[in-house]
Amino acid sequence: MGQPDRGLRIDRCAVIRPLTPGEAELAREAFGDALRCQSIRLLAAPWPFNRAFVPGRWFGREWIVWPRRTLPDDIAAAPLKPQAVLIHELTHVWQAQQGVNLLTGKIRAGDRPASYAYPVGMDCDWGGLNIEQQAMVVEHRFRLLRGGAVPAPAEFYDRVCPLGPRIKT
């Protein structure tokens, strides 16, 4: 009682853990107050899982399944690539928190490279994007804020992405 939730540990790596304070701060930077972080858990999954994904809400928690061999103790202290993957997956958590059925959304979106590509132009609208395109917009916006290469200028992400603070240029 009164102890912080450090997660279930087997060996050196937590098998199930909450977001670290640093990861929660990354989430706040990307989502502002729109994402409820307290109920999110990371599950370090063994083979055959080779990429992170969000299976949805189970047992009162939102889950991000992450390959155990690539899950850092604190993604916030890792390089940009795993941080950006976390933001992408947190977008799916946010979508589920907004009532989106991730299973049907994923079936509609598909899982090929074109499923993740979004149109860069004035005709691009958040509501017209599938769940993977929305997650890529949020991920790319996050990468841009950290100096990463992305397919569109800051003005595009400010116009299309409804999450987080505006980008200062």
| Within a domain: 165 | no
Average pLDDT of the chain, as a whole number = 92
Give domain status of residue 167, yes or no: no
Residue 81 lies in a domain: yes
Confidence check: pLDDT of 30 > 60: yes
The residues near 118 (Cβ < 8 Å, ≥ 6 apart) are 124, 129, 133, 136, 137
Tens digits of residue pLDDT in 65-90: 999 999 999 999 999 999 999 999 99
Q: What is the pLDDT of residue 156?
A: 98
Residue 1 in any domain: the answer is no
Name the strands in the sheet holding 40-45, side by side, starting at the edge strand that comes first in the sequence: 8-10, 13-18, 40-45, 61-67, 53-58
Amino acid symbol at 61 = R
pLDDT of residue 13: 55
Domain membership flag for residue 2: no
pLDDT at 10: 45
Number of domains in the chain: 1
Q: What is the pLDDT of residue 14?
A: 57
Structure confidence at residue 1 as a pLDDT band (50, 70, 90): very low
pLDDT at 60: 87
By residue range, what is the domain housing residue 147? 8-160
Residue 45 included in any domain:
yes
In a domain, 126, yes or no: yes
The verdict on residue 26 lying in a domain is: yes
H helices of the chain, where?
Answer: 21-31, 80-97, 102-109, 113-116, 131-145, 154-160
pTM: 0.90
Percentage, residues of the chain above pLDDT 90: 83
- Helix (H, G, I), strand (E, B), or coil: what is residue 158? helix
